[in-house]
Homo-oligomer: A and B are copies of this chain.
Amino acid sequence: LIKEYEGEGEEYVPTLGIPDEEFASLKKHITREEIRVVTLAKLKLRHDMCLWDVGAGSGSVSIEADHLLPNGRIFAMERNEQCLAFLKQNLNKFHTRHVTLVPGEAPDCFEDLPDPDRVFIGGSGGNLFRILEAVDTRLPAEGRIVINAITLETLTAATEFFENAGYQVEVTTINIARTRPLTEYKMFEAYNPVYIIVGEKG
């Protein structure tokens, strides 16, 4: 009954921490393995929750969440055609059971979806404020929104929205460096820092 990907005989998909290179994606448009699992931890998923993944990109967060929501539902929204192609390919590859692909632009595409318990916003395409306003009307009390920001503008906008809307806010900054496995010397290479912003509805 376990989700499992059997490629070339020996391969398997870990139950957490799928390597970045396993996802088909536009280069650099993937949430890195380490950031992805911290993001999932911050979402505080319960087995039967409904998760909205806004700006799902290549789907790495939805795909890892699939295993953490065995009785739940995930809606992966994406407007970019190229990303949608990769997203479909990845959902197939990993045999997700609970992920529904929602092509279209947030917040318009929210309309026909069931209300979320948790919302992850990985990309907002310049609509962050409108998206947050729309999410807010649908999210129940104690609902939780997690936003990954790589710009100061998103950090500021998200924080201000949460404070004005009376959410509890926590920001976690993550600086990671990893040795490249293939060089002779183990040189540390930094990822760009990510701000994980959590808003919990009062």
Interface pick from A92-100, A129-137, A189-197:
A189-197
Q: By DSSP majority rule, is chain A's interface helix, strand, loop, or mixed?
A: mixed
Are B16 and A152 closer than 8 Å at their CB atoms?
no
- Determine whether the beta carbon of A172 is less than 8 Å from that of B46: no
Interface residue A40 (Cβ < 8 Å from any Cβ of B): yes
B contact residues around A40 at 8 Å (CB) = 16-17, 37
**Cα–Cα, bound, A168→B179 (Å):** 11
List, in ascending order, chain B residues with CB within 8 A of A154's CB. 185
Is A47 interfacial (CB 8 A cutoff)?
Answer: yes
Pairwise interchain contact A14-B44, C-beta atoms closer than 8 A? yes
A23-79 interface with B by 8 A CB criterion: 33-34, 36-38, 40-48, 68-71
Residue in contact with A44 in the complex, picked from B17, B43, B178, B185, CB distance below 8 Å: B17
A156 adjacent to chain B (CB < 8 Å): yes
B-side contacts of A148, CB under 8 Å = none
Per the bound structure, the CA–CA distance linking A59 and B131 in Å amounts to 39
Contact A159 B152 (CB under 8 A): yes
Residue of B nearest to A35 (CB): B38
Binding site for B on A (CB under 8 A): 2, 4, 12, 14-17, 33-34, 36-38, 40-48, 68-71, 150-156, 159-160, 168-179, 181, 185-193
Can you name 22 A-B pairs with beta carbons within 8 Å? A14-B45, A14-B46, A15-B45, A17-B41, A34-B41, A37-B40, A151-B186, A151-B188, A152-B155, A152-B171, A152-B186, A152-B187, A153-B186, A155-B156, A156-B156, A170-B179, A171-B178, A171-B179, A173-B173, A173-B188, A188-B193, A190-B190
